[in-house]
Amino acid sequence: MKHGLNPRELLGVIGSYDALVVRSETKVTPEVVEAAKSLRV
């Protein structure tokens, strides 16, 4: 679990995660979704 990531940092780590849980401060951009190759619904 990581806290306080800026968008660039999130892009750098999201590829290795199976899930993403965010609060209102974290913005999930289309680029983040594209980089999230392992995410599952």
DSSP 1-41: ---S--HHHHHHHGGG-S-----TTS---HHHHHH-TT---
pLDDT value for 38: 93
Tokens representing 28?
A: 């999930």
Full domain range(s) for residue 37: 1-41
The overall pTM is greater than 0.75: no
Q: 1-41: per-residue pLDDT in tens?
A: 788 888 899 999 999 899 999 888 888 899 999 999 999 87
Residues 6+ apart with CB under 8 A from 25: none
C-alpha–C-alpha distance, residues 6 and 39, integer Å: 19
C-alpha–C-alpha distance, residues 26 and 14, integer Å: 13
